[in-house]
Amino acid sequence: MTLFAVTRLELRRLFVRPFGWVIAALALAELGWRFALLLQFFLLSQVQLASIPDGPGYTDIVLIPLLSSFALPFALIELALLIVPLLTMSSLASERAAGTLPLLFASGLSATRILVGKYLAVLVWLALWLVLALAIPVSLAHGATLDWGKLAAATLGTFLALAVLAAIGLACSAFAQHAAVAAVAALIISLTLYCINLGAQRAGVDNGFINWLAMSTHQDNLMHGVVSSADIAWFLLAIAVALALGIRRLASDRERG
């Protein structure tokens, strides 16, 4: 069995089970409601916005807050903090509880191929969800002026954030004995990593290690259209660390038989 065979099997599991469809539908419905509120605010503010030189437009008021903003919960990233742990909780924890994990090891697959294959499947699911979510505001591109450069940067930042959350979820699923424990652990770790710098910001500290550690620091830059190699490197490092921990756990399980 190859890496892509694992990915295909995991994708089939995600798309066959109704759970993924239900949470995707509910999330898209909530995002649609949020989009309607943001669009209403944008239309009611046209007179005030017209009097501001180089003021915010459709992209800044509607599209970016649809992806990430605590001002009017819940945006896509805030929803992902809840959805991704639910999506990944059974990837490995359920197989361990059901006793099917040794079957994957018996097929000759390494721990790396198992975890990375499942990770790629989750990324495909999240990418499709992101595309459907973006289709809501982009559908009005013919009647509104979009900042395509800022949209591209925000989309990249959102996808990288989803990739980090997926890696954390799979790592927790690799360590947990039960799916519910994996979901709770992934939720707590993701929330902590996302807003660990809030206390420092309240204290007036805008730089330092604690702010660098927070995912929101690097995502905010991309949401404002600033693409930095340092921010992208942070996301890649976070993904690598989470996957490495999960692979190490699976390798330990394989050695114990």
Please say if the pLDDT value at position 204 is more than 80.
Answer: no
Specify whether the CB–CB gap between 51 and 16 falls below 8 A: no
Q: What integer best gives the mean pLDDT of the chain?
A: 86
Q: Residue 119 sits in which domain range?
A: 3-256
Please check the confidence at residue 55 and state whether its pLDDT lies above 80: no
Residues 213, 36: Cα–Cα separation, whole Å: 34
Q: Give the per-residue pLDDT at 115.
A: 92
Question: Residue 15: is its pLDDT beyond 70?
Answer: yes
Tens of pLDDT, residue by residue over 28-46, are 999 999 999 888 888 888 7
| Residue 256 exposed, middle or buried by CB count within 10 Å (0-12, 13-18, 19+) | exposed
pLDDT at 46: 78
Kindly indicate the confidence band of residue 19, based on its pLDDT and cuts at 50, 70 and 90: confident
Looking at residues 154-165, what average pLDDT do you find? 95
Among 174, 178, 168, 170, which residue's Cα sits nearest to residue 248? Answer: 174
Backbone φ, ψ for residue 214 (5° rounding):
-75, 135
Number of structural domains in the chain:
1
Q: What is the pTM of this model?
A: 0.92
Please say if the pLDDT value at position 110 is more than 90: no
The answer to whether 176 touches 182, Cβ cutoff 8 Å, is yes
Under 8 Å between Cβ of 230 and 219: no
